[in-house]
Amino acid sequence: MTPAQIQSFFTILAASNPQPQTELEFASVFELLAAVLLSAQATDVSVNKATRQLFVVANTPQKILYLGQDGLESYIKTIGLYHSKARHLLQTCQMLVDLHGGQVPRTREALEALPGVGRKTANVVLNVAFGEPTMAVDTHIFRVANRTGLAPGKTPLAVELSLLKRIPKEFMEHAHHWLILHGRYVCQARTPQCWTCAVANCCDFTPKTTQR
């Protein structure tokens, strides 16, 4: 994908969705962090169903700690890997209380020091909560970046670094969401919806068929 095509690609995505939002439901930075931590290898839909009940009774690190392992698991048991996720979330909450006054830190180093919080989760929090121009490469973004020719790479980190270099600065704040939503609903894994894709003319991918 050429620089001109990249400019056109994001101009079109921005025009169709000027203010894209994460599909995870949250009302605070801590709720966002908890939801993203729980969303690993799970759908946003399943996480939202659980957190709608959880956050009513426990929406701060201290309140999560009051629940304990068994109490927390009772709210998130419908989410995959809930045993380890409950343990990590409790450990994270303890660190937030002990080291950060119950607040979510604003630096990558501090975020990635939290149990269960890797580079992708830290990037989501930095971007969505604090407006940092980061790129959290999930399976959708990894696929879109490689398939379209936007930022090919063999690893999520390689794709992330390439995207940060290739995406024009004016689009960086929302690029993460545009790419996720495009991958989730249009540039799908098994059957990319090329015949309905608004950015097909900017894309390097050649579909086997252009219509159903």
**pLDDT tens digits, residue range 18-72?**
999 899 999 999 999 999 999 988 999 999 999 999 999 999 999 999 999 999 9
Dump pLDDT digits (tens) for 69-98: 999 999 999 998 999 999 999 999 999 999
> Considering the chain, what is the average pLDDT of its residues?
94
Mark the binding-site residues for [4Fe-4S] cluster, compressed into ranges.
Answer: 187, 194, 197, 203
- Is the pLDDT at 211 greater than 50, yes or no? no
- Phi, psi of 172, rounded to the nearest 5 degrees: -65, -35
Mark the binding-site residues, compressed into ranges.
Answer: 187, 194, 197, 203
Do residues 36 and 24 lie in contact, with contact meaning Cβ atoms separated by under 8 Å?
A: yes
Q: What is the pLDDT of residue 208?
A: 59
Closest-CA residue to 203 (of 185, 182, 176): 182
138 as an active site residue: the answer is yes
Q: Which of 49, 77, 120, 154 is catalytic?
A: 120
Q: What is the pLDDT of residue 40?
A: 86
Q: What is the pLDDT of residue 48?
A: 97
Identify the structural domains of the chain with CATH numbers, from first to last: 3-20+134-202 (1.10.1670.10), 29-128 (1.10.340.30)
Q: Which of 44, 63, 85, 138 is catalytic?
A: 138
Q: What is the pLDDT of residue 169?
A: 94
User: Residue 153 carries which DSSP code?
Assistant: -
Dump pLDDT digits (tens) for 158-197: 999 999 999 999 999 999 999 999 999 999 999 999 999 9
How far apart are alpha carbons 114 and 95 in whole angstroms? 7
- Is the pLDDT at 210 greater than 50, yes or no? no
Q: How confident is the model at residue 136 (pLDDT cuts 50, 70, 90)?
A: very high
| AA letter at 7 | Q
